[in-house]
Amino acid sequence: MTPKNAPGLKTVEADKSKAAPAKKMTGAEIVLRALADQGVEVMFGYPGGAVLPIYDALFQQDKVRHVLCRHEQGAAHAAEGYARSTGKVGVILVTSGPGATNAVTGLTDALMDSIPLVCITGQVPTFLIGTDAFQEADTTGITRPCTKHNTLVKDVNDLAGAIHEAFHVARSGRPGPVLIDIPKDIQFAEGKYKEAADSMAHAYFPKTDPDMDAIEAAVELMAGAKKPVFYTGGGIINAGPAASKALRELAALTGFPVTSTLMGLGAYPASDKQWLGMLGMHGTFEANWAMHDCDVMINIGARFDDRITGRTDKFSPHSQKIHVDIDPSSINKNIRVDIPIVGDAGKALEAMIAVWKKRGFRADQEALSQWWKQIEKWRDKKCLAYQGSDSIIKPQYALERLRAHLAKDKRKQFISTEVGQHQMWAAQFLPFNDPNRWLTSGGLGTMGYGLPAAIGAQVAHPDALCIDVAGEASILMNIQEMSTAVQYRLPVKIFILNNQWMGMVRQWQELLHGERYSESYTDSLPDFVKLAEAYGGIGLRAETPAELDGVIEQMLKTDKVTIVDVRVDQRENCFPMIPSGKAHNEMILAPDASQFDKKLV
């Protein structure tokens, strides 16, 4: 590669000339073997000097496939999309220095949204570490706060163990990203392979079984509830499909209303009548008011994030709270709860069902029907209503049409998003009826997440329909992944709600910064149709409501990556909205917006 890496190569040749005892493997071979033993079918990556030995080993085997992304951030998000859509660990392979630093956003994203990833980074040879060598970065130092765990392997005999442990840590307890930094000389060096079973150095076994006494206490509280609500989150998705099933069963048994965070969408079917819609800053009126007024809140696998709670001292002031979380540090972090339960969401739900049945509980029907009446009144607000138009495409209308077409499509459907208004509208208007179908960057809010995430999902599910609902600003952040989609014939659909603005930024500026639109308009946008074609994909455009259906139909038929440039109303705002620092019952709806005090910053 570069002259500076030459010493690494020399050492290796010296090593290899020594008669190697049988069954020894090079570090690079150990990496591939460990990945295969961990059941990895595909990884996402980008080569470079410090990982060439691993790429060489990759070339000489056929168990693990590699998808070449066009940017390490893209590779990381693709691995996230793969992981989220399959429940498996996503794997990334990148080089040292810029390869590793480019992956940092994806690692942070995975940490915030509890996505299991294993990231393998190349590092300069051990004898060059600390010398400011070419493409050296302190990768473990940089990624320490944005990984669940990371490690620099300095002895080839530790390598297999480190990789097995990385998979174990990534998927155990609260899932997250784990990074293994492998210096180039370690990749060349020969050493012993260790089986996964022999590699548990840390004895990391977080508690997943809930305390049964706490479950009993929780179920008693639920049975006596008059105004209960299930507040569910991404923990249910992470606990696997059985957890979603258990949630449905418990909701049916109790008859309680269900809401969910952005990350939990799909765990409970949006088509069900007990579904209140998403809660939080852009959640529904009924969900937020139910949270505010409830007397018993049952939080399963959500973490009282500030986008959910709004102002914490006014958060659900009259309720007793049950909180199931696999991460003990999530409990009593933002909101004090009455019954904390540390454990796996699925196991806790199943235990609750068992106790509810065993003790023959019945919900207080009288109180519950009053509660549902109240909820119906909130629903009657029709908080997602918007002003329709014949001449201009309203973004909400575009999603309603997309929803109608999706309802007729028999394929498995995965929806990813970028970040902004379009993301919130997608969460509000598209129906999520199954877990693991919704891929969005919740905790970090990473623009540029959606296209690579959809690519990752499509790699895992070649016959499925994978759609990235995008904004025109966000899509440009990882647009280069178009090329990946073309190369691997991944017919991902990119449905851009093109308002020519960083809409969410513009909305805050309008409502909270005196309508001073500082740098939120994107001039000189590309022609997205031509851009798609330039990459070798298909470009479509809809400029009027009348064109929309035809364009969506066409999009659903294409067999190549397709960008749909939907020109939508530039001034539309996303409601309902709880301005940050406000309480749930201070949320504003579209009609209130004109009276909103715009001097309030």
Partner 1 sequence: MNTSAYRTKSRRGQSVYAPGPGEENIESHTLAILVRNEPGVLARVIGLFSGRGYNIDSLSVAETDHAGHLSRITVVCSGTLAVIEQIKAQLERTVVVQEVKDLTVTGPYVDRELGLVRVVGQGEKRIEALQIAESFRARVVDSTLDSFIFEITGTAEKVNAFIDLMVPLGLAEVSRTGTAALARGGITERIKE
82's tokens:
């793969």
Nearer to partner 1, 320 or 484 (CB): 320
Active-site option among 135, 187, 413, 428: 135
Annotated catalytic, 38? no
Query: CA 519 to CA 526: how far, in whole Å?
Result: 18
Binding mask 440-469 for ligand TPP (x = CB under 6 A): -----xxx----------------------
448 binds Mg ion (CB under 5 A): no
Measured torsion, CA atoms of residues 471, 476, 482, 483, in degrees rounded to the nearest 10: 180
Query: CA 7 to CA 579: how far, in whole Å?
Result: 58
- What are the helix and strand counts (H, E) for the chain? 23, 20
Long-range contacts of 137-144 (CB under 8 A, 24+ apart): 137/96, 137/97, 137/98, 137/100, 137/101, 139/96, 139/100, 139/179, 139/181, 140/179, 140/181, 142/100, 142/101, 142/104, 143/100, 143/104, 143/107, 143/119, 143/179
11's tokens:
């050492």
In this structure, are residues 142 and 115 in contact, taking their beta carbons and an 8 Å threshold? Answer: no
586 burial (CB, 10 Å; 0-12 / 13-18 / 19+) is middle
In this structure, are residues 230 and 300 in contact, taking their beta carbons and an 8 Å threshold? Answer: yes
Annotated catalytic, 274? no
Active-site option among 1, 4, 24, 134: 134
Interface residue with ligand TPP among 502, 552, 561, 578 (CB under 6 A) is 502
504's enclosing H/E stretch is: helix 503-512
Annotated catalytic, 44? no
Query: CA 458 to CA 86: how far, in whole Å?
Result: 11
Annotated catalytic, 533? no
Query: CA 493 to CA 309: how far, in whole Å?
Result: 34
Binding segment for ligand TPP among 92-100, 470-478, 578-586, 588-596 (CB under 6 A)? Answer: 470-478
Closest distance between ligand TPP and the C-beta of residue 476, in Å? 8
Closest distance between Mg ion and the C-beta of residue 500, in Å? 7
Q: Which amino acid is at 152?
A: L
Tokens 């630093």 found at: 101
Query: CA 324 to CA 316: how far, in whole Å?
Result: 17
338 binds partner 1 (CB under 8 A): yes
Query: CA 242 to CA 349: how far, in whole Å?
Result: 10
Closest distance between Mg ion and the C-beta of residue 498, in Å? 7
Interface residue with Mg ion among 471, 537, 539, 576 (CB under 5 A) is 471
107's enclosing H/E stretch is: helix 98-112
Binding segment for ligand TPP among 74-82, 270-278, 454-462, 495-503 (CB under 6 A)? Answer: 495-503
252's enclosing H/E stretch is: helix 241-254
Binding mask 200-239 for partner 1 (x = CB under 8 A): -xxxx-x----x-xx-xx--xx------------------
Closest distance between partner 1 and the C-beta of residue 147, in Å? 10
Nearer to partner 1, 154 or 513 (CB): 154
- Work out the widest C-alpha separation in the chain, in whole angstroms: 83
337's tokens:
């709860």
**Which residues 145-164 are close enough to bind partner 1 by CB under 8 A?**
145, 148-152
**Which residues 298-337 are close enough to bind partner 1 by CB under 8 A?**
312-313, 315-317, 319-321, 327-329, 331-333, 335-337
In this structure, are residues 42 and 19 in contact, taking their beta carbons and an 8 Å threshold? Answer: no
Nearer to partner 1, 443 or 471 (CB): 443
509 binds ligand TPP (CB under 6 A): no
Number of residues near ligand TPP (by CB under 6 A): 19
Closest distance between partner 1 and the C-beta of residue 453, in Å? 26
**Which residues 391-430 are close enough to bind ligand TPP by CB under 6 A?**
418-422
- With CB cut-offs between 5 and 8 Å by kind, which of ligand TPP, partner 1, Mg ion, none does residue 418 bind? ligand TPP
Interface residue with ligand TPP among 81, 310, 503, 539 (CB under 6 A) is 503
Annotated catalytic, 72? yes
Active-site option among 184, 194, 321, 347: 184
503 binds Mg ion (CB under 5 A): yes
Nearer to Mg ion, 72 or 472 (CB): 472
Closest distance between partner 1 and the C-beta of residue 189, in Å? 18
Which is nearest to 575 in space by CA: 384, 300, 320?
Answer: 384
Q: Which amino acid is at 543?
A: E
In this structure, are residues 417 and 471 in contact, taking their beta carbons and an 8 Å threshold? Answer: no
Nearer to Mg ion, 371 or 528 (CB): 528
Could you give the angle at the alpha carbon of 587 between the alpha carbons of 428 and 594, nearest 5°?
Answer: 95
Query: CA 7 to CA 337: how far, in whole Å?
Result: 58
99's enclosing H/E stretch is: helix 98-112
Interface residue with ligand TPP among 110, 115, 504, 578 (CB under 6 A) is 504
Number of residues near partner 1 (by CB under 8 A): 44
Interface residue with ligand TPP among 237, 485, 505, 561 (CB under 6 A) is 505
Nearer to partner 1, 16 or 318 (CB): 318
Closest distance between Mg ion and the C-beta of residue 258, in Å? 31
Q: Under the rule (CB under 8 A), what is the footprint of partner 1?
A: 140-141, 144-145, 148-152, 169, 173-174, 201-204, 206, 211, 213-214, 216-217, 220-221, 312-313, 315-317, 319-321, 327-329, 331-333, 335-340
Q: Under the rule (CB under 5 A), what is the footprint of Mg ion?
A: 471-473, 499, 503
Catalytically active residues, by annotation: 72, 134-135, 184, 504
Q: Under the rule (CB under 6 A), what is the footprint of ligand TPP?
A: 418-422, 445-447, 471-474, 497, 499, 501-505
